[in-house]
């Protein structure tokens, strides 16, 4: 019985010890560490980034929190509750950091595409600038080539113009030569004409008047009152015809005149017949009748006084007027 009591006492002591241990182990009421850990885990769970990027770590945190809660509910050792609460909080923070780290990585991957795009854009821009420079250089070169081509064309044109000018000069020289030759010929012809004229003036006693070259055939060729040429007129007419035949193109005007003796009507008719006689004589000697015209002016236009025999003799005459160089032949007004 004594032994049983002792044992009983000892059992009581063990029970008391156990109660003490239990009191030491068990938690009472709200644990601040546990609530802080819960807040940490809840905030991690509410973050979609953490849920999607660090699910394993988040699950570990939640499990630690559950464990701490269970231990707390079971009034287990506060050290164990605190321990698991601590693990829950640290793992929740770890989950958040991992999520942030992984989000950064994803973000950088995404950014890398932008970096590549920008790098390409920059390189393209540089290439464009280089290409623009090259284009400009090419344009410059092209412009220079064009200038050179224009200069070459201009030189060619100038050379052609020079050649043309040379040909023209040559042609002008030839023309001048021709003109000179013509002038020389004309001069020679003029000299010849002058010589012939001299012959007429000297040998036929012609004279130059404003009406043309005038050759006067005196009354010695005709008997008074008659219109037939005297035989001694022959040589004189030969010489005149020969002279006139040298200028076959020149028109001739043959004019008859009388002195004042006798009636005007008679004198007029006589002057016509004398002019006609000379015309016929010249025609007989080869002077074309078509170039000859005859007129009679009677006693008009005396060349001397009718009061003396010598004067009247001078007034009885036939004048042959040769057209001038321009072909003009002016009858008396």
Tell me: does residue 198 bind other proteins (CB under 8 A): no
How many residues bind other proteins, per CB under 8 A?
Answer: 47
CB 99 within 8 A of CB 43: no
Compute the least distance from the CB of residue 158 to other proteins, in Å. 46
Query: Which of 36, 197 has the CB closer to other proteins?
Result: 36
CB 104 within 8 A of CB 54: no
Tell me: does residue 93 bind other proteins (CB under 8 A): yes
User: Which among 3-11, 166-174, 228-236, 256-264 is the span making contact with other proteins, rule CB under 8 A?
Assistant: 3-11
Angle ∠(262,267,273) on CA atoms, nearest 5: 140
Which residues, in sequence order, are CB contacts of 237 under 8 Å at separation 6+?
Answer: 229, 278, 281, 282, 285
Distance, CA of 323 to CA of 330 (rounded, Å):
8
Tell me: does residue 80 bind other proteins (CB under 8 A): yes
Contact pick of 8, 180, 194, 332 for other proteins (by CB under 8 A): 8
Contact pick of 42, 43, 128, 166 for other proteins (by CB under 8 A): 128
Contact pick of 18, 137, 159, 162 for other proteins (by CB under 8 A): 18
Site string for other proteins, 129-168 (x = CB under 8 A): x---------------------------------------
3-state secondary structure of 217: strand
Give strand pairing partners of 255. 295, 319
Distance, CA of 218 to CA of 236 (rounded, Å):
11
Query: Which of 10, 171 has the CB closer to other proteins?
Result: 10
Give strand pairing partners of 168. none
Query: Which of 113, 333 has the CB closer to other proteins?
Result: 113
Tell me: does residue 87 bind other proteins (CB under 8 A): yes
Query: Which of 125, 332 has the CB closer to other proteins?
Result: 125
Give strand pairing partners of 296. 256
Distance, CA of 51 to CA of 62 (rounded, Å):
12
Distance, CA of 319 to CA of 257 (rounded, Å):
8
Give strand pairing partners of 237. none
Query: Which of 85, 240 has the CB closer to other proteins?
Result: 85
Closest CA to 299 of 266, 255, 331, 258: 258
Structure tokens, 67: 């464990």
Q: How far apart are the first and last CA of the chain?
A: 212
Compute the least distance from the CB of residue 127 to other proteins, in Å. 7
User: Which among 86-94, 181-189, 204-212, 261-269 is the span making contact with other proteins, rule CB under 8 A?
Assistant: 86-94
Rg (the chain; Cα; Å): 78
Tell me: does residue 17 bind other proteins (CB under 8 A): yes
**C-beta neighbour count of 141 within 10 angstroms:** 10
Compute the least distance from the CB of residue 97 to other proteins, in Å. 4
Contact pick of 36, 45, 94, 261 for other proteins (by CB under 8 A): 94
Give strand pairing partners of 46. none
Strands 292-296 and 252-257, sheet pairing: parallel
User: Which among 124-132, 176-184, 270-278, 281-289 is the span making contact with other proteins, rule CB under 8 A?
Assistant: 124-132
Query: Which of 128, 209 has the CB closer to other proteins?
Result: 128
Question: What is residue 41's DSSP assignment?
Answer: H
Which positions lie near other proteins, rule CB under 8 A? 4, 7-8, 11-12, 14-15, 17-18, 21-22, 24-25, 57, 76-77, 79-80, 83, 86-87, 90-91, 93-94, 97-98, 100-101, 104-105, 107-108, 111-112, 114-115, 118-119, 121-122, 124-129
């Amino acid at each position: 019985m004594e032994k049983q009591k002792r044992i009983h006492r000892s059992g009581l002591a063990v029970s008391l010890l156990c109660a003490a241990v239990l009191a030491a182990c068990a938690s009472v009421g709200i644990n601040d560490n546990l609530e802080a850990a819960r807040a940490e885990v809840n905030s991690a769970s509410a973050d979609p980034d953490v849920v999607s990027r660090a699910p394993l770590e988040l699950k570990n945190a939640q499990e630690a929190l559950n464990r701490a809660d269970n231990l707390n509910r079971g009034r287990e050792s506060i050290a164990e509750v605190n321990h698991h609460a601590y693990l829950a909080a640290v793992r929740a923070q770890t989950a958040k950091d991992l999520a942030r780290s992984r989000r950064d990585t994803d973000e950088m991957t995404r950014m890398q595409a932008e970096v590549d795009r920008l790098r390409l854009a920059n390189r393209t821009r540089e290439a464009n600038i280089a290409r623009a420079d090259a284009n400009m250089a090419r344009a410059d070169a092209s412009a220079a080539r064009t200038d050179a081509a224009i200069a070459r064309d201009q030189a060619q044109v100038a050379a052609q113009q020079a050649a043309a000018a040379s040909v023209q000069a040559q042609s002008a020289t030839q023309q001048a030569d021709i003109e000179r030759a013509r002038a020389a010929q004309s001069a020679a012809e003029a000299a010849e004409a002058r010589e012939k004229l001299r012959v007429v003036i000297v040998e036929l006693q012609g004279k130059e008047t404003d009406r043309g070259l005038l050759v006067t055939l005196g009354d010695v060729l005709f008997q008074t009152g008659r219109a037939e040429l005297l035989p001694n007129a022959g040589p004189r007419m030969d010489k005149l015809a020969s002279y006139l035949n040298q200028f076959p193109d020149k028109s001739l005007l043959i004019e008859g005149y009388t002195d004042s003796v006798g009636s005007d009507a008679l004198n007029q008719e006589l002057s016509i017949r004398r002019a006609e006689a000379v015309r016929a004589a010249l025609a007989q000697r080869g002077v074309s009748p078509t170039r000859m015209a005859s007129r009679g002016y009677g006693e008009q236009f005396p060349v001397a006084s009718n009061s003396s025999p010598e004067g009247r003799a001078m007034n009885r005459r036939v004048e042959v007027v040769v057209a001038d160089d321009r072909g003009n032949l002016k009858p008396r007004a």
